[in-house]
Amino acid sequence: MEIIDYRNVEVRQEDMFVLGDVTFTVQEGDFVYLIGKVGSGKSSLFKTLYCELDVLCPMPDSHAIVLGMNLTTMKKRQIPRLRRQMGIVFQDFQLLTDRNVFDNLSFVLKSTGWKDKKLIHQKIFQVLDLVGMDTKGYKMPHELSGGEQQRICIARALLNDPKLILADEPTGNLDPETGHQIMEILHKVGQSGTTILMITHNLQWIEEFPGRVFKCQDRKLLVDADPKSDSTTPDTENTTAAE
């Protein structure tokens, strides 16, 4: 089953051309790394997948389909339905700081239509158990380490049993040991059949946890690329900046 199908599309950030002639497919269960230098277009491409940024189809045969939905013809009111089928893991966590872990996750479920308190409780502790945080539901975000916060973010992404997880440099703010633990969790999730598309600059993860490699280079997307080519030298990226 195809989870993502882009053909001959363009990515622009406002009036700036970012990527052109983008063509790729991602199948159910794929683990895909998205690599490339700072400013090469990785985050911009990511944003098109969850409709934070428009994708352009300049040619008659161009199309952009994510989870069976055509991004160029769908209505804005359909965007929440698309996003409910995916989970997003950010580098900077983006947890609500005024409520504890349980209430952070409960907020997501209630905002996506869950009403039964018992089912909400069961689902929250199911995903917390998956990421090894089942005893931390009462904790406030500031009481957690960076690695613990990222585990909560992964739990949040899993709440609605997504078909696709987008992870934007999920280990970028973590020490190597904690980053490795996060990768083990994501790899385990991927082995369960969930499709994962992950931005990273850490080529060690590609060696330890093999997957497909897409590379943004020279305003193009190279599919199933060589991660060790000269354009993939690891560096530090502030993913909150426009790419």
pLDDT digits (tens, 9 = 90+) for 182-224: 999 999 999 999 999 999 999 999 999 999 999 999 999 999 8
Residue 243 pLDDT level (bands cut at 50, 70, 90): very low
Q: Is 50 left (phi over 0), alpha (psi -120 to 50) or beta?
A: alpha
pLDDT tens digits, residue range 169-191?
999 888 999 999 999 999 999 99
The separation between CA 157 and the C-alpha centre of its own chain, rounded to angstroms, equals 9
Residue reference for tokens 């999920």: 170
DSSP-derived letter for residue 230 is G
Whether residue 110 has pLDDT greater than 60: yes
Contact 44, 242 (CB under 8 A): yes
Given this model, what pLDDT does residue 226 score?
A: 83
Sequence-distant (≥ 6) Cβ neighbours of residue 202 within 8 angstroms: 171, 179, 234
Q: pTM (2 decimals)?
A: 0.87
Residue 113's pLDDT is what? 86
pLDDT tier at 234, thresholds 50, 70, 90: very low
Given a cut of 90, whether residue 136 has pLDDT beyond it is yes
30 vs 9, 45, 69, 95, 212, CA distance in Å? 21, 17, 19, 27, 7
- What's the pLDDT at 225? 86
